Structure 1
């Protein structure tokens, strides 16, 4: 059995928020990260959806050493290892398979594998994992599903992502089995395209205020 890495909840910094960064260049990624940090964010997830994602992780680590920087959309062992080499401090995947879970665990980095069904949660549980990403949260039943899962998987905590915004953030964070909320609502593509960094900072500050009222990361 693989040795389990530290829990993601034990390393996440700041409010219980995990904004997603998707950038076409490392410079853009750093600008987004700075805007989020100015709004009170302490942890970010750079998704592997652009060619410059790995470079973006390295650049943010170099420019903002106080920020916790993870990698998302990890789909393979190659992804997991490349992210670790780039300096990622945690890993997040959109789904779970035995090979992917084993590869992510083997890096020694904190992780949140993606789940959408009880069977996927059970798979992660069999590997000893007690923190997972619930994705896509809204389409998979949202708050009511998380409430239902809490009775069956009493030791599992979730990072819901997908369909979360300022309008329902408090409802998700109020759930005892949610340890952090993720999503892209703090980094809208239109604001990034137009380099409206102050507006991103304002969105982050508003979300930070909500999160700190309910729960903060360690």
Structure 2
């Protein structure tokens, strides 16, 4: 298991975050760190992503920080410049994978069927995102894939407190990506106590 996978495996759940205002990033990072989940996958679904990552990194150098929804090389460049530990893409784009490999940046691309898994393996990848997990057949589909392919998976998309342990029970799953503990409206409205409660709840659910 890679060092990155090992760190994620210890955390079990990676918060997937869409943040609209980078000025809220440091406080959000504080909530995550102080409540037992010192990690974040900040998605490039908003223009604030790169600045938010940079601010989080400066304030909490020890955090595990990734860039999500990485769709093109400019996203990769911005993520590296912001000092991320890894990048995640919703799908498997060989061009993006190659660019990350050239730049020495770990990438976890999304796959949801055997053909995509094999294409990813052909490029030397051993860590993949199963996305969108629930619409793609959920635990049953992932068990079928893991029975055949010697790769590690991070299910994301429809993962919730109700099913997260079902995914984590699969040997090839090292962590799950989730949004339920970092809903955008709570970040926008700076409802930090409610966010803290949701983040704390993660530990009790996946313990």
Shorter chain as normaliser: what TM range?
over 0.9
Structure 1 segments of 4 or more deviating over 4 A? none
Query: Any idea what SS the aligned residue of 2:15 has?
Result: strand
TM-score by length of 2: 0.93
Alpha-carbon separation, structure 2, partners of 1:183 and 1:12 = 13
Residue in 2 that maps onto 1:216: none
Alpha-carbon separation, structure 2, partners of 1:171 and 1:10 = 19
Residue in 2 that maps onto 1:3: none
Higher relative contact order (CA 8 A, sep 6+): 1
What are the residue-to-residue correspondences of 1:1-218 with 2, within 5 Å?
8-12=4-8, 14-153=10-149, 155-211=150-206, 213=207
- How much does 1:63 deviate? 0.9
- How much does 1:7 deviate? 5.8
TM-score by length of 1: 0.89
Alpha-carbon separation, structure 2, partners of 1:50 and 1:190 = 14
Alpha-carbon separation, structure 2, partners of 1:15 and 1:101 = 25
Alpha-carbon separation, structure 2, partners of 1:171 and 1:188 = 22
Alignment root-mean-square deviation, CA: 1.5
The question of whether the paired residues in 1 share the 8 Å contact of 2:29 and 2:38 is answered with no
Alpha-carbon separation, structure 1, partners of 2:60 and 2:17 = 14
Query: Any idea what SS the aligned residue of 2:8 has?
Result: coil
Query: Any idea what SS the aligned residue of 1:44 has?
Result: strand
Q: Structure 1: which 5+ runs fail to align?
A: 1-5, 214-218
Alpha-carbon separation, structure 2, partners of 1:12 and 1:80 = 20
The question of whether the paired residues in 1 share the 8 Å contact of 2:9 and 2:175 is answered with no
Query: Any idea what SS the aligned residue of 1:29 has?
Result: helix
Aligned residues: 206
The question of whether the paired residues in 2 share the 8 Å contact of 1:74 and 1:92 is answered with yes
Cα separation, partners in 2 of 1:46 and 1:121, compared to 1, 3 Å:
same
Query: Any idea what SS the aligned residue of 1:146 has?
Result: helix
The question of whether the paired residues in 1 share the 8 Å contact of 2:18 and 2:46 is answered with yes
Q: Structure 2: which 5+ runs fail to align?
A: none
Report the more deviating stretch, 25-34 or 40-49.
Answer: 25-34
**CA displacement, residues 9-57 of structure 1 (integer Å, 9 cap, x when unaligned):** 0443742111012111222122222212222002210100111110111
